[in-house]
């Protein structure tokens, strides 16, 4: 069962229950191995854990005294040690931080506030004109130009590796749609280019990443649906079909 992003006084996560941040980029799950783990989505990278794996899980409860407690079948195995703050609430925020609030003041956090990823478009996120994605190693950049072109560059030498055929069409944005399609739209909402990676509900939640090897890839469940085919040794510009 999935909750929203908050646990109020007296409520809990049972085994395999989760909190999800409002924009869907982070998930906190009480796993069947007894560990409470915060992942970034969609690639499920762990960024915080209670380190209680190996215990027999029972619940993770926001107690009335303000203490957030994990209990196994044999007793308490972890706590936030905030019992002096009664009626506190716990929230999983859009910045990736788990915070316990007492009267609007934060009294505990996981200290996992994240800098937004510069290399990923999650579902329903967009690049607007003059925006860019940059690979984590800084060697590659995807830029949405004012003339309508979506261009992938190797930063050294400003070398184009892939270009969309969308020049001169009053561009507005390039969006990673929730159906799994990467689409370039003009000001009127017309489609100028599409990755063609959508199969409807079967690819709902797919995401785009500019990898450190220079390849631009749409993934669903860690399987590639589309790529620019610009990884490693490709040096000549590759142009998408219009």
pLDDT digits (tens, 9 = 90+) for 53-76: 999 999 999 999 999 999 999 999
Which candidate, 57, 52, 58, 60, places its Cα nearest to that of 10?
60
Structure tokens at 230: 């610009």
Which residues have C-beta within 8 Å of that of residue 104, sequence separation ≥ 6? none
More confident: 206 or 79: 79
Q: What is the pLDDT of residue 201?
A: 75
pLDDT of residue 237: 43
Q: What pLDDT, in 10s, does the model give residues 135-193?
A: 989 999 999 998 888 999 999 999 999 999 888 777 888 999 989 999 999 888 899 99
Q: Which residue has the higher pLDDT, 112 or 43?
A: 112
Question: pLDDT at position 38, please?
Answer: 97
Q: How confident is the model at residue 124 (pLDDT cuts 50, 70, 90)?
A: confident
Assess whether the previous peptide bond of 17 is cis (omega < 30° from 0): no
Say what the pLDDT of residue 211 is: 93
Alpha carbon distance 164, 173 (integer Å): 13
pLDDT of 85: 96
Tell me the three-class secondary structure of the chain, residue by residue.
CECCCEECCCCEECCCCEEECCCCCEEEEECCCCCEEEEECCCCEEEEECCCCCCCEEEEEECCCCCEEEEECCEEEEECCCCCCCCCEEEECCCCCEEEEECCEEEEECCCCCCCCCCEECCCCEEECCCEEECCCCCEEEEECCCCCEEEEECCCCEEEEECCCCCCCEEEEEECCCCCEEEEECCCCEEEECCCCCHHHHCCCEEEECCCCCEEEEECCEEEEECCCCCCCCCCEECCC
CA angle 134, 140, 146 (to 5 degrees): 70
pLDDT at residue 196 is higher than 80: yes
pLDDT of residue 88: 95
Quote the pLDDT of residue 50. Answer: 98
User: Average pLDDT for residues 100-106, to the nearest whole number?
Assistant: 91
- pLDDT (0 to 100) of residue 240: 46
Predicted pLDDT of residue 232: 57
pLDDT of residue 97: 94
Mean pLDDT of the chain: 89
The whole-number pLDDT of residue 233 equals 63
Residue written as token pair 């009267």: 103
**pLDDT of res. 122:** 84
Distance (Å, rounded) from C-alpha 69 to C-alpha 127? 41
pLDDT band at 83 (very low <50, low <70, confident <90, very high): very high
pLDDT digits (tens, 9 = 90+) for 5-24: 999 999 999 999 999 988 78
Cβ neighbour number for residue 60 with a 10 Å cutoff? 26
Q: What percent of the chain has pLDDT over 70?
A: 94
What average pLDDT does the segment 200-224 reach?
89
Check residue 238 and give its pLDDT: 46
For the cut 90, the answer to whether the pLDDT of residue 2 exceeds it is: no
CA atoms within 13 A on the CB side of 36: 24
Domains identified in the chain and CATH numbers = 6-109 (2.90.10.10), 120-239 (2.90.10.10)
Q: Which of 189, 194, 225, 231 is nearest to 207 (CA)?
A: 225
* Cα distance between residue 208 and residue 122, in whole Å: 7
């Amino acid at each position: 069962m999935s909750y929203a992003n908050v646990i109020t006084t007296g409520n809990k996560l049972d085994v395999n229950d989760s909190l999800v941040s409002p924009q869907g980029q982070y998930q906190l799950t009480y796993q069947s191995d007894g560990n409470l783990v915060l992942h970034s989505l969609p690639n499920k990278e762990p960024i915080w854990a209670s380190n209680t794996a190996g215990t027999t899980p029972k619940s993770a409860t926001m107690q009335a005294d303000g203490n957030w407690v994990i209990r196994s079948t044999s007793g308490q195995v972890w706590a936030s040690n905030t019992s002096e703050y009664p009626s506190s609430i716990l929230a999983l925020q859009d910045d990736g931080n788990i915070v316990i609030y007492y009267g609007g003041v934060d009294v505990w956090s996981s200290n996992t506030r994240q800098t937004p990823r510069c290399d990923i478009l999650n579902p329903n996120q967009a690049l607007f004109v003059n925006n860019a994605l940059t690979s984590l190693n800084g060697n590659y950049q995807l830029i949405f130009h004012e003339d309508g072109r979506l261009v992938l560059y190797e930063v050294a030498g400003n070398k184009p590796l892939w270009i969309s055929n969308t020049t001169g069409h009053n561009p507005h944005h390039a969006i990673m749609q929730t159906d799994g399609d990467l689409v370039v739209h003009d000001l009127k909402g017309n489609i100028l280019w599409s990755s063609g990676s959508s199969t409807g509900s079967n690819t709902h939640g797919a995401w785009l990443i500019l990898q450190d090897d220079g390849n631009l890839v749409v993934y669903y469940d860690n399987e590639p649906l589309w790529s620019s085919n610009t990884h490693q040794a490709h040096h000549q510009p590759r142009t998408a079909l219009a």
